[in-house]
Chain A
Amino acid sequence: MLSSVRMKKTPLYDSHVALGARMVDFAGWQMPVQYKTGISDEHIAVRTDIGLFDVSHMGELRITGTEALAFLSFTTLNDPAKLKPGRGQYSMMPNDKGGLTDDLYIYMDAENNYLVVCNASNREAVLNQFQKLSKHYDVQIVDESDSWALLALQGPGAALLLARYVNEDLSSLKKNRKQTVILHDCMVDAARTGYTGEDGFELFCRPDDAVKVWDTLVAAGAKPCGLGARDSLRLEAGFPLYGHEFTEKTNPLCSDFAWVIKDKSFYGRDALWAKECSQRLVGLQLSERGIARQGYKVFSGDKEIGEISSGTISPFTRESIGMAWIDAAYAKEGEKVQVEIRRDLVEAIITKPPFF
């Protein structure tokens, strides 16, 4: 119990406990992994209806200043020059060894004013790297992580549900755009983004408003969902998770996320660009019984060719799915490989996500 004393709680902690959530320690936070009816129900609710996640543990860093754009262009892999006020983009922060410090979402809130959203577990690393690289730029970096509660309303019914409570029409808000709205007297920045593969919104709220926004959406029928369903949904959608698909050692150039990397000057470019892709990140689907878990070895015949980065059985399709880094020569759709699960080699087929 000692370890949990120092764990941080989001503004919604009491709400989770009241809803019967199973709380776990995650990246320094006490977070709900699932509620009473379990991960499968939550996963299916997001695919077929509406789910609501508390992701207030995510880090938010504010970058402002006359050279904010040039600074972000140098420190991240996507091209922030393509952003306009009210727009966001998926991006990544490279290290100088051909790997990643984190993956990110960058929103341009106004001229010379950006909000960077990063993984909770990497908040300090991202902040440190920003600070280290900021010396020659006119920028200010402020950690706003404690100033934002973040809720994710996800699923095919999300837009209709939200429309009942906000003062503006969000149906025309395009993917990756963000707009300030009033939701039940609460000022909320609603971004049409998510991590589930479904339509939905991420709602940046003031911490004091979080319970009100949460209660409103739950009362309206959004099913509370925990980190367990968040993980199974993102995997089924084929989205990478830092610590699994991407690490400080894996090169995003050798994945289907290479599109993020724009041909420009950026930190660590020589290491990242020069590397040959001896391995590639692939999706796979098991054709025999079993679940591929992170760290399990992948074989082609007798030859070990790589390692599983994530795997589960989808509660939605019931298929056994996963992602793996494997030798580039085998990274072809339809290629048959084997996953070593305990003592057995289980047949799998390289499959391009999404898996639903």
Chain B
Amino acid sequence: MEFPKNLKYASSHEWALDNGDGTVTVGISEHAQEALGDVVFVELPEVGSELEAGEEFGVVESVKAASDVYSPVSGEVIGVNSDLEDSPETINESPYKEGWLIKIKMTDATELDDLLDAKAYSQVAEEEG
């Protein structure tokens, strides 16, 4: 299973990509999409929403189950992946690229340091089996 090294991870299975301009792109990990199974529905926040780190911002649902997704950092939602509305299966096919969920303008970039690196997260994923 792939956990790109350039990403930071939350133990609740979201990833954050530091875009280097004070914004991050957020999605769910390959482990999370596989555990969920075929994603058939995604609900995302509106652009302009304010999120706290750890706050629930949406839901990703498969045929069998619904899973809340949590913001890895605090900030303002400046973009949502609206393509997922029509093709939620993109999350299964490309969890780290085309399957991204939202973009956030961070209020505190140091929060990224609180997240897990690829190695630490891979252990979390492994323990869950």
Contacts and interface: CB of A to CB of B under 8 A. Distances in A.
A274 B28 CA distance: 52
B40 A342 contact: no
Contacts of B117: none
Interface string A284-323: 0000011101000000000000000000110100101000
A34 B37 contact: yes
Given A313-B40, A315-B38, A293 B66 contact: yes
Interface string B49-71: 00000000001011110100000
Nearest to B35: A22
B76 interface: no
A228 B63 CA distance: 8
Chain A interface, >50% SS class? mixed
Interface residues of B, number: 14
A33 B41 contact: no
Interface residues of A, number: 20
A38 interface: yes
A270 to B, nearest CB: 39
The interface centre, meaning the residue of B38, B43, B89 with most chain A CB atoms within 10 A of its CB, is B38
B46 interface: no
Nearest to B59: A342
Contacts of A290: 41, 43
B64 A315 contact: no
Contacts of A320: 41
A231 interface: yes
Contacts of A315: 38, 40, 63
A313 B41 contact: yes
Nearest to A43: B63
B85 A232 contact: no
A289 B41 contact: yes
B70 to A, nearest CB: 14
A147 interface: no
Contact of A228 (B64, B66, B89): B64
Contacts of B89: 40
A315 B61 CA distance: 12
Nearest to B86: A318
Given A34-B37, A342-B59, A39 B64 contact: yes
A78 to B, nearest CB: 31
B37 A291 contact: no
A342 B68 CA distance: 11
A7 B93 CA distance: 33
B64 A33 contact: yes
Interface of A: 22, 33-34, 38-40, 43, 228, 231-232, 289-291, 293, 312-313, 315, 318, 320, 342
Given A39-B62, A40-B89, A43-B63, 7 more contacts: A38-B38, A38-B92, A289-B41, A313-B40, A313-B63, A315-B40, A318-B40
